Amino acid sequence: MRIAILLAALSTTTAFMTTAALAAEDITYRKHIRPLWEQKCMGCHGQASPYLADFEADKEKFTKLNVGPRMDSYPALIIYVGWPDTGAIMRRLDDGKTAPNTKPGNMYQYLGGDDAERQKNLALMKSWVGEGAWSLGRFKDLDKDTLTKMKVAE
């Protein structure tokens, strides 16, 4: 029991320290997000993956093939942050702690091999999106203030 509490505290402390370090640096797609994306996500969301419209047209087929929509470039990824599929990245990568009564997104598990790595990479993604802009809502649900907080620097 004590070990479990210690590990939970350590994970929380690591995530906090990582978030503090990231806040001191401007997070960009090229320097920070692209390398993470190549390591953790490109296997299913790379150049061979369909663009969003094609994926949506035959979602069942691509899901069976274990292929997600294409997100292999800055413009392709921004679709899932800002518009037209606003918040999709946030909903999929979230750890379930952003909103009450939510569970981790279906892609959260792929952010790392253990919870500490997942929390570190989630903190990086949240810093890139922008303080106060990480929202699980869709475009129609978001207010202008939340949308203007999005950074997503290239």
Long-range contacts of 71-76 (CB under 8 A, 24+ apart): 71/37, 71/41, 71/45, 72/42, 72/45, 72/46, 72/47, 74/29, 74/30, 74/34, 74/154, 76/51
Q: pLDDT averaged over the chain?
A: 88
* Residue range 29-76, pLDDT digits in tens: 999 999 999 999 999 999 999 999 999 999 999 999 999 999 999 999
pLDDT at 2 over 80: no
Report d(CA 12, CA 111) in Å as an integer: 16
- Domain locations in the chain? 2-148
pLDDT tens by residue, 90-136: 999 999 999 898 999 999 999 999 999 999 999 999 999 999 999 99
- The single-letter code of the amino acid at 33 is I
Please report which confidence band the pLDDT of residue 18 belongs to, taking 50, 70 and 90 as the band edges. very low
23: pLDDT confidence band, cut at 50, 70 and 90? low
